[in-house]
A and B are shown apart, each in its own frame.
Chain A
Amino acid sequence: MTLPAKPLIDQFSRRITYLRLSVTDRCDLRCSYCMPERMQFVPKAEVLSLEELRRLAQGFIARGVRKIRLTGGEPLVRRDVLDLVRALGREVGSGLDELTLTTNGMRLAEFAAPLADAGVRRINVSLDTRNRALFQQLARRDGLTQVLGGIAAAKAVGLKVKLNTVALKGLNESELPALIAWAHGEGHDLTLIEVMPLGEIEGDRFDHYLPLTAVRESLEGHLTLTPSAHRSGGPARYFDVAETGGRLGLITPLTNNFCDGCNRVRVTATGQLAMCLGGEAEVDLRAALRSDEPEARLDAALDLAMRTKPERHAFMIRRHGEAPALARHMSATGG
């Protein structure tokens, strides 16, 4: 691997090699912890075009990004998303080590084969429950059958699937051991995620905030968890599950050190570079891309981002009714 001319290194000496690129803020589900039922989406003209996304990604690759994850909203609701996947897929093995995406699985039955064709090898699928009624309650859409079909399609074409499950007190809490056992039985890894306080939603997050320390304790009544040496370069900590032979990840932004090895930045669908999921600061890459000197302005914007990426996030859920630490919705940055 040749080093890029100017690698992206922040002021805390963290090398940025991972870009999470949101291609749309739209979604075909309305998960209650993520967005309100009547979500106000961004007008299309404000969203980066296919060509802008491609140039943006190339700009990051030139600065040493080795992994790109497409996110949303839901990336597979964007009409031309496959064109982008195919363009970036051609970089895998040279500019990129990996191109992947995070999806809700709703359209995965259709997309699994073309994604595999384009060079995608692994995908993350969000799945909080295998109970149809609870799915409908959480996602405000009756989509479970479709999502499970999507996950089956991904497996059928040989995509490695990791399931992401938001742990919700009093909702999927009691189902978690069975969900983990099912996932591992299907050959999928599963990572549990704590609710993150992003964006105004209906209801009170505090009501369903479930610290994973408590989940781990209760899981250990059913399963034998052994800390694993496996690292993904991300915030998850992994455990091998003796009973299932599978791997369980825990992502605990509120109850654990989350930031020390941070290697990533996020770009929203409107081209705003968010240096931290849990911080307000953004750098406008769209203005750079739409300027007379897109390459030079993009490089300068990335330099600015490296000087301003914060050391830590500012998340907390301390009490009932507290406003989120961050006004930006999860759907703007794709988690």
Chain B
Amino acid sequence: MPVGMTIRARLVFLGRLQDLAGAAERMVEVARASTVDALLDQLEPELAAALRSPKVRIAVAGGLGGLDRTVSDGDEVAFLPPVSGG
């Protein structure tokens, strides 16, 4: 993609999702106006599938969001694990 057509977002994997992702954070580059869902296409299919679980909560730029949320350049996209053992 030409320069300026893409944005960079920081993915943050919290709690036990960090073990699943094998890292606390990943930077991804996607087309402008991409959704969280599109951004997950950049990850390994298994990890992406796990993060698309309706039980995983998503926060974008400091507030709760969903897979359809549009991501802006420089946004932090955090993935939060479901409550376990409750």
A contacts, CB < 8 Å to B: 79-80, 82, 107, 109-114, 116-117, 146, 149-150, 152-153, 155-158
Contacts and interface: CB of A to CB of B under 8 A. Distances in A.
B78 A152 contact: yes
B15 A157 contact: no
B15 A150 contact: yes
B78 A149 contact: no
Interface of B: 12, 14-18, 57, 59, 62-64, 76, 78, 80-86
- Interface hub of A109, A116, A146 (most chain B Cβ within 10 A): A109
Contacts, number: 60
Contacts of B59: 113, 153, 156-158
A117 B83 contact: no
A146 B18 CA distance: 10
Contacts of A114: 83
B64 A153 contact: no
A110 B12 CA distance: 14
A149 B83 contact: no
17 contacts: A82-B86, A110-B15, A113-B80, A149-B14, A149-B18, A150-B14, A150-B15, A153-B59, A155-B62, A156-B12, A156-B59, A156-B76, A156-B78, A157-B59, A157-B63, A157-B80, A158-B59
B36 to A, nearest CB: 13
Nearest to B57: A113
Contacts of A149: 14-15, 18
A146 B82 CA distance: 15
